[in-house]
Structure 1
Amino acid sequence: MIPKSIRNVLENQFDIKIESEQTVSGGSINRAHKLQTDQGALFLKWNRSAPDHFFDVEARGLKLLASVDADIRVPSVLVTQPPSPDTPGFLLIEYIREGSGSSSDSYNFGAELAKLHNTTGDHFGLAYDNFIGSLPQQNDQFDNWIPFFVEKRINPQLKMAIDSGKISQNFFGNWNRLSKKLEDLLPPTKPCLIHGDLWGGNYLFDENGTGILIDPAVYYGHPEMDLAFTKMFGGFSTSFYEGYKSVTPLEDDFSNRVPIYNLYPLLVHVNLFGGHYVSQFERIVGKY
């Protein structure tokens, strides 16, 4: 059952009448239920220990993705609420029934993601900080990609891993040597809007085969970051990448850059889970 305090807020403050509820997956961080209401099927997730703005910045990320000129579906945001002494923080969004997604649907999803990446900004980063998973993500704005990648993506996560004892302090020197080579290893780019946490659990298809993005960690970054992230756990379908390349061809040697971009999500996994992610991170840094 959803917390009684959340039910009271939805029914008394927002006039949403809950008719039934069903437990569904909300990831490893949040509790989640599908609600059948007088306004249709809705998706609720909540977290008793989330920071005050945790769900607010997720809602802002969803709205930002929904605003771009690409045929990718993003759940509509209905209610977002910070935690209070009596009520957990929560997010209420549109519930989208999942479909299977054909090869052509994957192709179209890749093409539309490339169009999303064509949404550019003036600076790398974002006007506000947000989260990747449960970890804070710093988005201070930079004019150049590589300083942003080093100072706002890798360094904060690496410091967290060192401070917690998951990675040795001595290893920072190895990363520092690699960071000085990045100008020669990573191609330049304009600041492009990216999902920021694009693994297989954060996209799906609706019943019409349209790609859906959920659980974003948005910012303006390098589009290859999103594409590299898709390869973290085995990669998306071949059709997806073909669709992407039909709109935006990949630059030469992209596959050789994937491990560098994925140092960021690897460090996130080091800080969340430890284990074999530590050796993966250290091995990649040592390669360069």
Structure 2
Amino acid sequence: MTDVQTRHVPAPQQLENDSKYLAIINEAALPQLQEVRAGNDPDDEPEPISIKEMLVRLDGVFPMDEAVIEALPAGTKFISVERSGTSAWTVTGRIVALETDGSERPYFLKVAYGEHGRIMLNGEWESSKMIYAIMPDFIPIPYGFGRYKIGKPATYFYLSEFVDMDVTTAPDPAEWAARLAAMHKASVSPTGQFGFPVKTCDGKLAHTVDWDASWASFYRKLLLGVCRLDLETNGPWPELERATAQICNVVIPRLLDGLQTPDGEPIKPCIIHGDLWEGNMGIHMETGDSILFDAGSYFAHNEMELGHWRCEFSSVFRAKVYTRHYLRNYPAAEPVDEFDDRNRLYSLKGAINYSAGHPGTPLRKTAYNNMCYLCDKYAPIDGIDKYDPMIDPSITGARIVPHLAEGLI
């Protein structure tokens, strides 16, 4: 496997492929740059504020604001707030409010800062509302999203039901898969296309979710968006860039154009969680049902949801029993014999996204190795490495503890 630092003089075919990569990566950058320019807020600080830095500034005091109190259900009275739980990208807390019947009720509050915080929490608000409308027992009740009335820094919040949940026990594969598949099946895209009405996030990074009638076209833009962010974070890697261009220009159309259901119908856009690993779900302590949280949704091919389960940051859902149970509830698209290759293709987005948000992570090399596999099978080119099964986590079982190296949780 060629190291990231290795450089050599490329052949003419490689130069042509490199120029294609630069063209498509610039194509992915344009809408993102336009949105950032349009969303600039005079109260934002020059650089994004890390949660670790903000916690130091807060010095143990939870940031509360009148805007949150106004978002509580009508008739309730705010009593108190305290920090609750841990989050890599937000400050999280537990509000206690007095209900109209005199009982106390807890609410969950997330706070984030700047334009990134606005995009992230507004995306979670809109995602949660859609999922709640489909399956109200599958996600905490969303109550509100808004901006604090204080000035700098621009501060945003998301308010939801506080659910006491077990986040350490693995869910029952049959129950979990059936509920997830039910959400996918019941969802209906408001436009009939793939995408989402607002920008959403996977971790701290925004998805490219502009509406598109073609799943292959949508996924290409989604993947290019995270590849551009990874390039900015981790620097150039010519072999990865050549493989990315081949994946986007040849492999994606080959594997994703014309997908059909087992009944011969075109695949439908399904709402997906968007960042679904075991760290974003739990078991409701009162009902015993599995439940989602931290959604960053968009309408996608339903199998896209399972791509995260192939990545190193997923431990529980890497067990094949979860995928087997899911496919019993929502059968694989045709051609069925290409399901695993599609799953490998879909895992690229999660791995590259994680790499873009966590410099130096091994997931960048994993994604490149998976690209080499797919290129070798469907669109061989010179200038990239051979796939190496000895560094494929789906074979070796290699895992990481998400966010541990950065001290975020």
Counterpart amino acid of residue 128 in structure 2: L
Which residue is 1:193 aligned to? 271
1:74-96 per-position Cα deviation (integer Å, ceiling 9, x unaligned): 11122311255156211111000
Which residue is 1:58 aligned to? 124
Whole-Å separation in 2 of the counterparts to 1:13 and 1:260? 41
1:100-146 per-position Cα deviation (integer Å, ceiling 9, x unaligned): 79888442221121121112431111222222222121211111111
Which residue is 2:326 aligned to? 244
Which residue is 1:283 aligned to? 369
Deviation at 1:42, TM superposition (A): 0.8
Say yes or no: does 1:98 pair with 2:174.
no
In the superposition, relative to structure 1, how do residues 71 and 51 fare at CA in structure 2: closer, same or farther (>3 Å)? closer
**Which of the numbers 219, 224, 235 marks the counterpart of 1:166?**
235
Which residue is 1:46 aligned to? 111
SS of the residue 1:60 aligns to: helix
Whole-Å separation in 2 of the counterparts to 1:77 and 1:176? 40
Whole-Å separation in 2 of the counterparts to 1:71 and 1:230? 24
**Which of the numbers 326, 333, 347 marks the counterpart of 1:262?**
347
Deviation at 1:20, TM superposition (A): 4.1
CA contact under 8 A between 2:283 and 2:291: conserved in structure 1? yes
**Which of the numbers 315, 318, 334 marks the counterpart of 1:234?**
315
Whole-Å separation in 2 of the counterparts to 1:222 and 1:260? 12
**Which of the numbers 281, 295, 306 marks the counterpart of 1:203?**
281
CA contact under 8 A between 2:194 and 2:213: conserved in structure 1? yes
Counterpart amino acid of residue 52 in structure 1: R
Deviation at 1:262, TM superposition (A): 0.9
Worse-superposed segment, 28-37 or 157-166 = 157-166
Counterpart amino acid of residue 267 in structure 1: I
Counterpart amino acid of residue 280 in structure 2: N
**TM-score normalised per structure 2:** 0.63
CA contact under 8 A between 1:44 and 1:90: conserved in structure 2? yes
Q: Which runs of 5+ in 2 are unaligned?
A: 1-60, 100-104, 260-266, 375-409
Whole-Å separation in 2 of the counterparts to 1:258 and 1:184? 14
Q: Which structure: greater strand fraction?
A: 1
CA contact under 8 A between 1:111 and 1:245: conserved in structure 2? no
What is the number of equivalent residue pairs in this alignment?
284
Deviation at 1:22, TM superposition (A): 3.9
In the superposition, relative to structure 1, how do residues 255 and 41 fare at CA in structure 2: closer, same or farther (>3 Å)? same
CA contact under 8 A between 1:111 and 1:244: conserved in structure 2? yes
In the superposition, relative to structure 1, how do residues 238 and 98 fare at CA in structure 2: closer, same or farther (>3 Å)? farther
RMSD (CA atoms): 2.7
Say yes or no: does 1:75 pair with 2:111.
no
Whole-Å separation in 1 of the counterparts to 2:372 and 2:320? 30
SS of the residue 1:262 aligns to: helix
Say yes or no: does 1:117 pair with 2:184.
yes
Higher-Rg member (1/2) = 2
Which residue is 1:9 aligned to? 67
**Which of the numbers 333, 352, 358 marks the counterpart of 1:273?**
358
CA contact under 8 A between 2:231 and 2:356: conserved in structure 1? no
Q: Percent of aligned positions with the same letter in both sequences?
A: 19
**TM-score normalised per structure 1:** 0.87
Q: Which runs of 5+ in 1 are unaligned?
A: none
CA contact under 8 A between 2:199 and 2:206: conserved in structure 1? yes
In the superposition, relative to structure 1, how do residues 262 and 199 fare at CA in structure 2: closer, same or farther (>3 Å)? same
1:191-224 per-position Cα deviation (integer Å, ceiling 9, x unaligned): 1211111111111110212121111111111111
In the superposition, relative to structure 1, how do residues 221 and 12 fare at CA in structure 2: closer, same or farther (>3 Å)? closer
In the superposition, relative to structure 1, how do residues 175 and 27 fare at CA in structure 2: closer, same or farther (>3 Å)? same
Deviation at 1:260, TM superposition (A): 1.2
Which residue is 2:27 aligned to? none
Worse-superposed segment, 184-193 or 267-276 = 184-193
Whole-Å separation in 2 of the counterparts to 1:90 and 1:167? 36
In the superposition, relative to structure 1, how do residues 231 and 46 fare at CA in structure 2: closer, same or farther (>3 Å)? same
CA contact under 8 A between 2:233 and 2:357: conserved in structure 1? no
CA contact under 8 A between 1:78 and 1:93: conserved in structure 2? yes
